[in-house]
Amino acid sequence: MDSPSPRPAETHGPTGPPDRASAREESPARNPWWDNTRFVSASLIVVLHTMGSIMDRYGPLHAFHVAAWAFRVPAFVVLAGVFSSAGPLGPRHLRTLLRSIVLPALLFSLLFSVESYALGSPFALHITQLPWTLWFLMSLFFWRLLLPLVAQLRHPLLATTAVALAVGYVEEFGLQFSASRTLVYMPLFYFGWRLGQGMCTKWFESRWSLPTAAAGVLAAGLAAWQWHWDIQGTWLSMRHAYEADTALGMGGAWLVRLAVLASAAALVLCLLRLVPKRRLPLISVLGAGGFTVYLLHPLVILPLREKGLIERADTLPELIALLTGGVLLTALLASPPVRRLAQPLTRPPVAWLLEPAGGRSGRQDLR
């Protein structure tokens, strides 16, 4: 079986290469394994955001929310690390960060503000605390800036994990500039980068690892079914400082976070082992649009949530329709036509903003 593909020399969207709806995107050179995984994670993110406002009303939905947690944001963080570079941050890399992260974050933050205002909320510009899902882009910007430094440490995983655990005791690290989640998820981002370098190849190639991965996912599902009401949302979100909401108290709160991070890394490995490495009809093509899905889906879900349409779902057929609708929305937003239409927003041109690094040829690279 294929081992993890080498990381690209240049970084692009949050979880991999740019969402270009072109023939090159479906070329055999593109590793479908990552695209298949992206589609699974993106679908779970959209489904859970679609149904998030009613999760607490239904035990099975809440259990599903807890069981699938590691396959959503943690998986996206790991995939983002896979396709990141620890090389020197030269002008080309910085321009890529501007085009693929900074400008899309600002544009979609503005779109979110305009849409919220149209739905009746006061108009507000979000600068230091980006709305809803856009925190990921702010964190991604800092992860990519920090990775070259982190990779030079003697024990990078140990150091980043220690920071992730310690930051929970500092109340000043919270939602502003996505500070808490940037530091907390840094170990998973670095872990993803190492996977892109070929770490854990034996896990992905060995026959014994396939049933082990299936058992790991099953165990996570059973644990979530049994204890989902006991698992605090703050343990999984890791957006704020620790709270004394466990039997371990504040002194042992770091142990809970350590268990959460370790479980996330293990379950992402299980997910990657279970996802087929071969090209899957439709799935592999749609998986290439994970960035577009992540940016666009809140703009679709927000009016449905604010108008109370989602909260009205209270029968099994309606819940199934919501779940199915989330998957279909993922497929629609990831489709090549939508990616082409959204590209001016998801990867806006920067030639008008920056001086080309290499004269005329540099200007062509920025288009």
Inter-CA distances, 341 with 207, 259, 292, Å: 42, 42, 10
Look at residues 216, 280, 193 and name the one whose alpha carbon lies nearest to residue 4.
193
pLDDT tens for residues 144-165? 999 999 999 999 999 999 999 9
Q: How confident is the model at residue 93 (pLDDT cuts 50, 70, 90)?
A: confident
What is the predicted pLDDT for the residue at 187? 98
Give ∠ CA 53-66-199 in degrees, rounded to 5: 130
**What integer is the mean pLDDT of 204-216?**
97
What is the predicted pLDDT for the residue at 357? 61
- Judged against a pLDDT cut of 90, whether residue 8 lies above it is answered with no
- Judged against a pLDDT cut of 60, whether residue 359 lies above it is answered with no
pTM: 0.89
Is the four-CA dihedral 135, 337, 69, 75 of positive or negative sign? negative
pLDDT tens for residues 179-189? 999 999 999 99
Residue 16, classed as helix, strand or coil, is: strand
Quote the strand ranges of 80-170, DSSP E: none
How far is residue 312's CA from residue 322's CA, in Å, rounded to a whole number? 11
Cβ neighbours of residue 139 closer than 8 Å, sequence gap 6 or more? 178, 181, 182, 185
Residue 13, classed as helix, strand or coil, is: strand
User: Any idea which of 134-148, 238-252, 312-326 has the lowest mean pLDDT?
Assistant: 238-252
Q: Work out the number of other CB atoms within 10 angstroms of the CB of residue 58.
A: 16
Mean pLDDT for all residues in the chain: 88
What is the predicted pLDDT for the residue at 74? 97
pLDDT tens for residues 31-75? 899 999 999 999 999 999 999 889 889 999 999 999 999 999 999
Q: How confident is the model at residue 27 (pLDDT cuts 50, 70, 90)?
A: very low
What is the predicted pLDDT for the residue at 88? 87
Angle between helices 135-150 and 156-166 (to 10 degrees): 140
